[in-house]
Structure 1
Amino acid sequence: MSVTNGAHHIGLAVSKLEESAEFFTKLLGWEEVKRRDDYPAIFVKDDSLMITLWKTQTEEPLKFDRKTNVGLHHLALRVNSQEAMYQLLEVLKENQIEIEFEPTLRGEGPSMHMMCYEPSGIRVEFYYAA
């Protein structure tokens, strides 16, 4: 039996704190929970997950390379329907978010996913489990 039960929160170091927070709140509809100006950090949440966005101490952090670095490969978030996936795609495009790939079937489908980069460069996957 596992000692843990899901995620309480995920902490992400971001170079563009306000822009990254707006990605979650304005584009994805998350809620800003609180701010810590002394760190600085912004806490955001959806209906089941909280993410702490911590501001890097440099404006030019080292960019993560998923093939050569240890660290977060990507953050995968659930989407409730195919329709929501395509609506999200349009919102991302309208806001000039870099899209790695548009909605694609997983295997034979009907599950699908897409991948983008939030403003600080973290890969975010959206996954619809049909």
Structure 2
Amino acid sequence: MANPLPATVGVDHVGLSVRNLDGTCRFFCDCLGWSVVGERPDYPAVFVSDGCQLVTLWQVESPERAIAFDRRGNIGLHHLALAVADRAGLDALHERIATWPGVVVEFGPALSGKGPKFHFMVREPSGIRVEFAYDPRLEAVRKRS
């Protein structure tokens, strides 16, 4: 039996519930260079984009009572992984992020498994795990597009 064609064509957006909307928005916009492309002050929510990806940041109702995600014990988003164009960019981004207020670095740039992909992992100001990755196997593909 043949597999049906996929019913989807990609990710529309990722929605993240955050403890610190302002801090997380500054992380995406001021640190990573993303832009605010929309807001919902009544929720409150901010929509940020790097021109390719859209992430919705939703402020939790009671930040002081919010329960931090445990990647080994909870069902949900394990981490958000974002691609970086080249190895030099990955290293430069790590240097900037490592000193960003409220960020916790889990590990610095290292091979992912046996490689050739390099990556690093942080927790942004609301505690969400974000991975940044450079895969040289995809560099030629990116240059063609």
Q: TM-score range by the shorter chain?
A: over 0.9
- Can you list the C-alpha shifts for 1:23-59, whole angstroms capped at 9, x where unaligned? 1001111011111110000000012110000000012
Q: Show structure 2 runs of 5+ residues with no match.
A: 137-145
Aligned twin of 1:10: 14
Aligned twin of 2:92: 87
Of residues 56, 62, 68 in structure 2, which corresponds to 1:52? 56
Q: Which residues in structure 2 correspond to 1:29-108 (within 5 Å)?
A: 29-60=33-64, 61-96=66-101, 97-108=103-114
Judge which range, 2-11 or 108-117, deviates more: 108-117
Q: SS where residue 42 of structure 1 aligns?
A: strand
CA–CA distance in structure 2, aligned partners of residues 108 and 33 of structure 1: 38
CA–CA distance in structure 2, aligned partners of residues 47 and 78 of structure 1: 13
CA–CA distance in structure 1, aligned partners of residues 105 and 90 of structure 2: 13
- When normalised by structure 2's length, the TM-score is 0.86
- Can you list the C-alpha shifts for 1:64-118, whole angstroms capped at 9, x where unaligned? 1111111100000000011011111111122142100000012333320100001
Indicate the percent of aligned positions where both proteins have the same amino acid.
45
In terms of fraction of residues, the more helix-rich structure is 2
CA–CA distance in structure 2, aligned partners of residues 28 and 7 of structure 1: 20
Q: SS where residue 92 of structure 1 aligns?
A: helix
Residues paired across the two proteins, number: 130
- When normalised by structure 1's length, the TM-score is 0.96
Q: SS where residue 95 of structure 2 aligns?
A: helix
Of residues 27, 41, 46 in structure 2, which corresponds to 1:23? 27
Q: Which has the larger Rg?
A: 2
Q: CA RMSD in A?
A: 1.0
Aligned twin of 1:123: 129
CA–CA distance in structure 2, aligned partners of residues 56 and 108 of structure 1: 38
Aligned twin of 2:143: none
Aligned twin of 2:142: none
Structure 1 residue runs of 4 or more that deviate by more than 4 Å after TM superposition? none
CA–CA distance in structure 2, aligned partners of residues 102 and 3 of structure 1: 37
